[in-house]
Amino acid sequence: MADRFHLWQNLATAVERLVAKHKGRLVEHPTTATFGAKEASEEPQGAMAQRRRAHYALVYEMLAQGAGFRQIARHLGWNATSAQQWSLSRHPDGRSDSSPYAARAQLQSM
């Protein structure tokens, strides 16, 4: 009687042989990264996306007026950490770029 390891090993070997035998018949389909790139370029729609864009605009407007994170947080009903994270974000949906300090440096250079 074979144990679990050997059953999986035998199955993997059989699948490898089968794929090697029929390799010419296999058709390569577009990857999900191709589909994801199209979807990622589109702006999100709906009430939540509109609210995020409004918050994003409001946070940057208040920062440009010289408001601090606590003041922004009080105005929006958030905590100061959330206001700070949104101020570091360069995207209206709250995503940040590779450098979390780039947005703040760009804002200070204005």
24-68 pLDDT, tens digit per residue, is 887 777 665 555 555 555 667 788 888 888 888 888 888 889 888
- In this prediction, residue 16 carries a pLDDT of 92
Residue 49 or 11, more confident: 11
Number of other residues whose CB lies within 10 A of the CB of residue 59: 25
Q: Are 97 and 90 in contact (CB under 8 A)?
A: yes
- In this prediction, residue 8 carries a pLDDT of 93
Q: Does the global pTM surpass 0.75?
A: no
Q: Diameter of the chain by CA atoms?
A: 76
Rg (CA), the chain: 25
